[in-house]
Amino acid sequence: MDPSSPITPDLARVQVLSEALPYIQRFAGRTVVIKYGGAAMVQEHLRHAVFRDITLLACVGLRPVMVHGGGPEINTWLTRLAIEPEFHAGLRVTSAETMEVVEMVLVGRVNKQIVNGINHQGGLAVGLSGSDGQLVQARPYDNGSIGLVGEVERVNPGLLMPLLEQGYIPVISSVAADPSGVSHNINADIVAGEVAAALHAEKLILLTDTPGILRQPGVAGTLLEHLTIGEARALMAAGVVSGGMVPKTECCIRALAQGVCSAHILDGRVSHALLQEIFTDAGIGTMISG
């Protein structure tokens, strides 16, 4: 072929596949834990892109695990039931009445929408909550000062391993019970990080509504593409990482400290961000490594 010939769409696809090959070979059989939320969960075309990406990851030999929340959907149902959503330091204040709605929405509605979406693309998704098989055991957050909000006490990876070995895609809602059987609402980022650590995952990926960690928050073109744990901690101490990015960054650091190979904060508003990060040389978003 003449090197000066224009690149046709078909040739571009072949080049993308060629670039992806070494990454497919490298990550085959490895576990990737993906926290799904934000715009990627709300906008229909982004939802379909994520479901296709997850299915493709499984088809080429990776072992994807999804963890999700569902804040906007919860707010919609609370409003319908005349319950005022309330937050404290970014966490949902969760009364017993609110917890019933959270569990109904996350476990009974959002989880099954995701499972059905992946299965429609040809994947083999299985819906779970943290309570199923004691996958996640909760403990009260801050001694229960904001209601039934939990933290992760422990994760039981033994429930997930047989599913992954048989090619199934676990989809986990961030609801779990404490030792007395009381359900708690847990931040999905935290659940994803702890699940990744328990599975010794190759990657933890957080889909967000930001490009990643920015050197100058809110300023385009200041994306920090790669950080070490030490650099990420320094940015938090300096206030560069602030607001909602703090718990996400802390979640990544904690997962890395427990053996996860790399953690990624990606812009879920970009179609096929997962594939761009995993299967291309340039990647997308911020990667933090140990």
The pLDDT of residue 5 is: 52
Residues marked as binding?
70-71, 92, 185
Q: The pTM is what?
A: 0.93
Pair of tokens at residue 44: 């229909």
Distance of CA 243 to the CA centre of its chain: 18
Residues marked as binding for substrate?
70-71, 92, 185
The pLDDT of residue 214 is: 94
The pLDDT of residue 4 is: 53
Burial class of residue 141 in the structure, from the number of CB atoms within 10 Å of its CB (0-12 exposed, 13-18 middle, 19+ buried): buried
What domains sit in the chain, N to C, each tagged with a CATH number?
Answer: 28-289 (3.40.1160.10)
Mean pLDDT of each 10-residue bin along the chain, 290 residues long:
59 77 93 94 93 96 96 93 88 94 96 97 98 97 94 97 97 97 96 98 96 87 93 95 89 96 95 92 89
Residue linked to tokens 């990060």: 277
The pLDDT of residue 1 is: 45
d(CA 127, CA 147): 26
Contact predicate 245/209, CB 8 Å: no
Contact predicate 131/121, CB 8 Å: no
Contact predicate 66/76, CB 8 Å: no
Q: Using alpha carbons, list the distances in angstroms from residue 203 to 2, 192, 199.
A: 40, 11, 10
